[in-house]
Amino acid sequence: MYKVTDLFSGCGGFTLGFTKLGFTVNQAFEIDEMACMTYAKNFGISPICKDIADVKDSEFKKTDVLIGGFPCQPFSLSGLQEGFGGRSGEGFDQCVRAIKLTKPTLVILENVAGFKRLHGGIFHDLALREIKKLGYYVKSFELNAKDFSVPQDRTRLFIVATSNDSEIIEPSPKTKDFITVKEAINDLVKKDGKDGKYHNHEPMKHTQRIIERFSKTRPGESTRQAMDRDPSLGTAKITKQCYRRLFSDKPSPTLVANFVTTTIHYSEDRNLTAREGARIQSFPDDFIFEGLKTRMSWQKGLSQFEQIGNAVPPKIAEALAEMSLKILNKEFSTIVNQPYGQDDLFEDLDSRYKIIMKKISEKKKTSGRRGRTSKYQKFYELVETLPKGGKVELPEGILDNKIFLDAAMRRRGINWEVLNKDKKLFHKLL
């Protein structure tokens, strides 16, 4: 059977779809230790667990199929949009390096749909050109997970390349009847995973105040909108992107890495569990996620939620594996007359790229830091490093709204008290 190598494998969603179709795992590469633990737990093979840039050329094995979802943050339309020049932007270069070393017949790379549109598609076009230069026929297309029996509206771009002169025909939708959230996870309602039947299914423990806010949040509405509509729910700083209640009769919106903070169960007043998120991503119940359930800012390793949200949905991977078998077995037509053409697609790419990168560089110099940071961030970081029993002076004004300090320490799992009558000394108990 054909061998598959998985770059940036994460917990193994891409691999799972291919092994379901009979492919054999050749190698996997993943930087995160928790994701590597999950991969090893489910496939019995430990990925090479380090930054792929640190992997020696000699460590790569030849393979039939190379798959991988290279880091998407630099290409997301909701991110900094720095492309190949941004943090993690070198991920595609490592894909090219791996192609040269493993010499696969077939390559499938995954990224966000914005990769094809960002800055007029310059990074997409450059990527296709670089793979074409290695002797491959290349195509790209988008697939929406909800068309492949995944209860989620999730569109991703796939770059497919082959060296065996086969045409590339993208997978056709499997269904016209979308699976709803309720159909996917309704049997998990009122279960908590303690019986061992449902792994990774431990509901979050919310405060009564949060439960009250969730209870007033309507389907499709965020808790921020509910609070704006009902002043009795308080004035906490919650964005409209957080805590949105799912529709029961529709597929879920895209699950992101932090979906624990972006979704509310369609019928219960709580966040989704990791298992519910896994169902929505189309992972089977016997796929076990290792590592922390959730992760605080100072903790290392991807949480179960992050591993799930980052994954390629296994059912999408299965559809791509079916396509791969047809390409490898040459069931599609053979390309004739300039099999590695498409030259018109790549005209003036270098000059376009220089212009775009100059604009990005100028924007980075003038835009300053993106996003909001608490004015007490340095204090929070100091508290995180305090030993048990440690004391530190409180910043001026932090106790004006003690509820925020309480919440910040609760998220960090820190038990504390204020010493002295003037309430200016923080004492870390745990």
What are 34-82's pLDDT values in tens digits?
A: 999 999 999 999 999 999 999 999 999 999 999 999 886 545 544 444 5
Mean pLDDT of the chain: 86
Contact 111, 151 (CB under 8 A): no
Q: How far apart are CA 430 and CA 423, in angstroms?
A: 19
Please compute the mean of the pLDDT values over residues 112-123 and round it to a whole number: 81
Alpha-carbon separation of residue 24 from 3, 5, 64, 242, 318 (angstroms): 5, 9, 10, 40, 14
Contact 244, 264 (CB under 8 A): yes
Active-site residue flag, 49? no
Q: What is the band of 88 on the pLDDT scale with cuts at 50, 70, 90? A: very low
Say yes or no to pLDDT of 155 above 80: yes
Say yes or no to pLDDT of 129 above 70: yes
**Pick from 100, 109, 70, 76: nearest CA to 88:** 70
pLDDT score of 366: 56
Say yes or no to pLDDT of 336 above 70: no
Per-residue model confidence as pLDDT tens digits over 237-271: 788 778 999 999 999 999 998 899 899 999 999 99
- What is the pTM (predicted TM-score) of this model? 0.80
Say yes or no to pLDDT of 346 above 70: no
pLDDT score of 369: 47
Please compute the mean of the pLDDT values over residues 305-334 and round it to a whole number: 97
Range name among 117-126, 141-150, 340-349 with the lowest pLDDT average: 340-349
Contact 191, 215 (CB under 8 A): no
Contact 44, 19 (CB under 8 A): no
| Active-site residue, from 11, 36, 49, 72 | 72
Q: How far apart are CA 124 and CA 86, in angstroms?
A: 15
Q: How far apart are CA 7 and CA 17, in angstroms?
A: 15
pLDDT score of 370: 45
Contact 181, 247 (CB under 8 A): yes
